[in-house]
């Protein structure tokens, strides 16, 4: 005998919330693309614009992390003077890095969302092309673009991961100095600086690789 299990009130409410939330996001996405299409921009154009923005934000992030490293190295060599001011400058550089890292993460999410929608639409529309030669050519270009994007996406995620790791290292030192702002604490920075410098260089190399991949991908998307 089959037993019908009636979902609880809380479960029903949860399902409804998820349903309407998904529906709302879909509606917002549709409206977003429709608005841009009226302005002459297709999903391909939006993807190119956002990949360019992601590239530029990573270039800026590189400089922010370099500045923070330079400030940390200066703190390690600090000998007298306005110690509080030097710490404040370091904290400010760290906060700039955090802010720029957030911008990079948000942009990557935007790129992921548009790329997913573009490839889904592209795949569906190729099936509507009745001329075999044209359909196969479109599918070939889609496959090549997906391959380029996959390489770019991997590089961006790796860069983001390294960025998060370096931010943790910087945060540890900033917080440590906040509560131990003295000559002994400054002296302890020297060993840390050497290690962090390697991490920052590793991050910069990863960012540059991601930037290069972005340029390669942009070149595959016609103006």
Domain residues of the chain, as ranges?
41-218
Angle, vertex CA 38, rays to CA 219 and CA 50, nearest 5? 35
Q: How far apart are CA 128 and CA 187, in angstroms?
A: 68
What predicted TM-score, i.e. pTM, was given to this entire model? 0.81
Tell which residue, 49, 73, 26, 47, has the closest CA to residue 170: 73
Tokens 């614009």 correspond to what residue? 49
The tokens describing 159, both together, are 């860069």
The tokens describing 187, both together, are 């002296």
Q: Note the pLDDT tens digit of each residue in 65-109.
A: 999 999 988 887 776 567 888 889 999 999 999 999 999 999 999
CA 60 and chain centroid, separation: 13
Q: Note the pLDDT tens digit of each residue in 13-51.
A: 444 344 434 444 556 788 888 898 889 899 999 999 999
Whether 162 has a pLDDT exceeding 60, the answer reads: yes
- Count Cβ atoms below 10 Å from residue 173 Cβ, excluding itself: 21
- Which CA distances in Å does 120 have to 61, 117, 128? 31, 5, 13
Q: How far apart are CA 200 and CA 112, in angstroms?
A: 26
Burial 124-138 (b: 16+ CB within 10 A, else e): eebeeeeeeeeeeeb
Residue % of the chain over a pLDDT of 70: 85
The tokens describing 45, both together, are 């154009």
Please enumerate in sequence order all residues whose Cβ is within 8 A of that of 71, keeping only pairs 6 or more positions apart, or say none. Answer: 89, 90, 93
Angle, vertex CA 133, rays to CA 132 and CA 139, nearest 5? 85
- Which CA distances in Å does 215 have to 56, 100, 152, 219? 10, 20, 9, 6
Q: Note the pLDDT tens digit of each residue in 164-206.
A: 999 999 999 899 888 887 777 777 777 788 889 999 999 999 9
């Amino acid at each position: 005998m089959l037993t019908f299990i009636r979902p609880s009130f809380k479960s029903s409410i949860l399902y409804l919330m998820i349903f309407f939330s998904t529906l709302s996001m879909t509606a917002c996405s549709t409206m977003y693309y429709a608005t841009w299409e009226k302005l002459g921009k297709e999903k391909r154009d939006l993807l190119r614009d956002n990949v360019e923005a992601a590239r530029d934000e990573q270039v800026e992030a590189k400089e922010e992390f370099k500045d923070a490293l330079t400030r940390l190295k200066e703190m390690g060599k600090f000998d007298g003077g306005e110690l509080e001011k030097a710490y404040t400058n370091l904290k400010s550089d760290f906060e700039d890095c955090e802010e720029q890292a957030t911008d990079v993460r948000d942009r990557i999410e935007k790129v992921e969302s548009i790329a997913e929608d573009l490839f889904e639409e592209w795949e569906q529309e190729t099936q509507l092309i009745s001329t075999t030669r044209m359909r196969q050519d479109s599918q070939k270009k889609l496959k090549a673009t997906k391959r380029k994007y996959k390489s770019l996406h991997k590089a961006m995620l790796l860069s983001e991961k390294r960025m998060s790791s370096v931010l943790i290292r910087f945060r540890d030192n900033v917080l440590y100095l906040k509560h131990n702002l003295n000559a002994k604490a400054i002296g302890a920075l020297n060993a840390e600086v050497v290690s962090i410098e390697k991490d920052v260089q590793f991050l910069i190399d990863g960012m540059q690789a991601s930037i290069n991949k972005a340029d390669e991908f942009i070149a595959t998307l016609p103006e």
